[in-house]
Structure formats: structure tokens, C-alpha cells
Amino acid sequence: MKKTNIIDLHCYSSFCYLLFLLVSVFVSLCSCDEHYVSSHGGLTDKEVSYIKQRQLLYYRDEFGDRGENVTVDPSLVFENPRLRNAYIALQAWKKAILSDPLNLTADWVGSEVCDYTGVYCAPALDNKRIKTVAGIDLNHGDIAGYLPEELGLLTDLALFHINSNRFCGTVPHKFIKLKLMFELDLSNNRFAGKFPEVILKLPLLKFLDLRFNEFEGTVPKELFDKDLDAIFINHNRFRFNLPDNFGNSPVSVIVLANNKFHGCVPASLGNMTSLEEIILMNNGFRSCLPEQIGGLRNMTVFDVSFNELMGTLPEQIGGMVSLEQLNVAYNMLSGKIPASICRLPKLENF
């Protein structure tokens, strides 16, 4: 059976610097509380207290400059000013890390930042003769800490992948300086607070993964106007109605499952002609399925299970000719199953 949570990390040659595919997972292993400690070794009471203190600072001053006061040794020699800035950013981050059981940041020492574990360099887009930090991959590190504002110094960063760690707090406001950010994966951590609206200011962002965190409140409708290819915000505490402009999103994959959405499935969903997979399961949708979904001819996975959907399945579902997985279980649907479903040429599971 085809997986319903495909993560297609496209490597777009005009913007990506790195030729690798990163796959995130669906396990939540981290927390700032003593009750959520890694199997690799828990935090001390002092470390837990410090993380909580820093997380509170983020709530008190959402747009403040919470730097780590990195001092650069004058004996260090850097190939160019951008690598010097990268050194400051990474040393500040190292100070903000309170537990690194796999010692991924142990070699974050000295001026050769391109040799640091998890740090990837490439020629700058605006000057091929300048080497700069283009990507960071600390996935599955079980690292505890937070993200300092100095990360905004990594202005050439295109890929930032830190899934499956124990990072807390919120997304730094100075991420707004990361104008080349292409793939942002913060999944499987303990980030909290409101939706990080700084993400909306990243002009080249294509892949967004915030799933399995503690974000809450509403999701700004502007998210669905961004030119994104994939949105994963499932398993948080978001609570809102899908806006009418939901159908403006050009994504091929969107997963909103296991939040607290409510209201209607907007008819504008039928405008998402590039959409291949959508998973809306286990929210609070209470409406009929709009007949406009019949226009989703590229859809392969459609999962709206565990909601409060009512009425009949629209006959227009037969227009979803690429559909392989159709899940409408655990709703309040009634009436007959449309004969058009039986004629779907690729349907494998209903």
C-alpha cells in the first residue's frame, strides 16, 4: 500500500546547494520537562530549569534580541566575512545547546566552520568565488536547547533541518534575514507559542515542516498564499477555521491532521489543481464535502477521516481519476456510495 505521508524533498537546482534527501519521522522524543527525557540520558534539574527560563524569555519578548554574546578570538583566520558570521552564529547556537548526547557539535571548534558536523558549505549564489554555509542538518540528534537570534547571520542558508531533537522556545525573529531559505524542517521538537509568522517573510521557501511540536492558536491565512510545494503542520495545537483562500495554495502535499480545526471544508479546495496528497484527519470539520473536489485530477491520497463530516459523498469524486487512497471513515456521512467511486481507475483502498 502506498504511504500516505510521503515527504518529497525536492532538490531544486536553482536554489538548493546540497544534493541530499532528508526524511523526517513521526516520533516525538523531546521535551523541556523532566518527564520527557531521551533514552540517551536525561537533563539535570539545573538544565531543565535553564531551558524553561530561556523559553519564558521568548514569550516575554517575541521580537527581542536574545543574543549569546560570542567573542571571536582575534587569532582566528576566516576565509571571508560570511564564514566569520557563520562562526559567530554557530558558536552562539552551541552555547544555547544544553544536551548533545551524540556529540554532534563537539567538533564545532575553530574557524573551519565548513568542517563542522552537520554544516554544509557551497559557493554563494551571488558570488561563486565565495564559500558560505548553505545548509544545516542535525536531524535525529536528540539535542536539547533553543535557537538563538544569531542564527539570522546565516544569510546564505537554504536548508535548515533539525527534526527529531528536543529544541524548545520559539523560532527566532531574526530568521527574517534568511532570504534564501528553501527547506525548513523543525519537526519533532518542543517548539511552542503562536505560529512563527517570520516564516511568511521567507520569499524562496518551498518546503515547510512544523509537525509534532506544541504550536497553538490560529494559522495565518497568508500561509496559503505562499508559493510552497509542501506544508506539514500536523500534530500541533492549532485551532482555527480553514480560510476561503485555502484553495490558493499551490502545494502538492499538505498535512493538517491532528489539530483542532473546525468549521467547513472550503469549496476553494477544488482550486488546488496541483494537489496530490491531502490529509485532514482527526480535526473538527463539520460540513459536507464540497462537490468541487471532483476537479482534483492529480490527487492520489485524500484522507478526511475522524471528523464530523455530514451528508453524502458527492458524485463528483469520480473526477479524481488519479486517486489511490480514499479515507472518509469515522464521520457522520449518510446516503449511498456514489457509483463513480467504483469507476476510479487507480483506487486501491477505500
Q: Are residues 241 and 196 in the same domain?
A: no
Grid coordinates standing for 166?
528536543
Q: Is 0.85 surpassed by the pTM of this model?
A: no
Q: Are residues 195 and 66 in the same domain?
A: yes
Residue 140's domain comprises 60-217
pLDDT at res. 24: 33
Written as one string, the DSSP assignment of 220-239 is -GGGGGS--SEEE--SSEE-
Residue in the block written with cell 464535502: 289
pLDDT in tens, 24-79: 322 333 333 333 333 344 556 665 555 555 554 444 444 444 556 888 999 999 99
Q: Are residues 193 and 73 in the same domain?
A: yes
Q: Are residues 272 and 171 in the same domain?
A: no
pLDDT at res. 35: 32
Q: Are residues 119 and 204 in the same domain?
A: yes
Q: Are residues 131 and 241 in the same domain?
A: no
Last residue of a domain, one of 167, 182, 217: 217
**Percentage of the chain with pLDDT > 70?**
81
pLDDT at res. 69: 80
pLDDT grade for 106, boundaries at 50, 70 and 90: very high
* 148 vs 172: CA distance, rounded Å: 7
Tell me the three state secondary structure of residue 109.
coil
In a domain, 14, yes or no: no
Q: Note whether 23 and 7 are within 8 A (CB).
A: yes
In a domain, 50, yes or no: no
In a domain, 153, yes or no: yes
pLDDT at res. 329: 97
Q: Are residues 74 and 212 in the same domain?
A: yes
* 104 vs 183: CA distance, rounded Å: 21
Total number of domains constituting the chain:
2
- Cβ contacts of residue 267 below 8 Å, gap of 6+? 247, 290, 292
CA proximity to 198, closest of 24, 62, 65, 88? 62
In a domain, 17, yes or no: no
pLDDT in tens, 142-182: 999 999 999 999 999 999 999 999 999 999 999 999 999 99
Q: Are residues 288 and 331 in the same domain?
A: yes
Q: Are residues 275 and 206 in the same domain?
A: no
Which residue did the predictor score with more confidence, 57 or 236? 236
The average pLDDT across 218-232 equals 97
Q: Are residues 184 and 263 in the same domain?
A: no
Q: Note whether 270 and 293 are within 8 A (CB).
A: yes
Q: Are residues 88 and 161 in the same domain?
A: yes
CB atoms within 10 A of CB 165: 26
In a domain, 87, yes or no: yes
pLDDT at res. 71: 87
In a domain, 8, yes or no: no
Task: Note every long-range contact of 137-140, with CB atoms under 8 Å and residues 24 or more positions apart, other chains counting.
Answer: 137/20, 137/22, 137/161, 138/104, 138/162, 138/165, 139/22, 139/24, 139/163, 139/164, 139/165, 139/185, 140/25, 140/164, 140/165
In a domain, 262, yes or no: yes
Q: Note whether 325 and 297 are within 8 A (CB).
A: no
Which residue did the predictor score with more confidence, 13 or 300? 300
Is the confidence at residue 18, as pLDDT, over 90?
no
Q: Note whether 246 and 266 are within 8 A (CB).
A: yes
Last residue of a domain, one of 191, 217, 243: 217
Rounded to the nearest angstrom, the gap between the alpha carbon of residue 314 and the centroid of all alpha carbons in its chain is 32
Last residue of a domain, one of 164, 190, 217: 217
Is the confidence at residue 273, as pLDDT, over 90?
yes
The average pLDDT across 301-322 equals 96
pLDDT at res. 48: 55
Q: Are residues 204 and 66 in the same domain?
A: yes
Q: What is the CATH number of the domain that holds 171?
A: 3.80.10.10
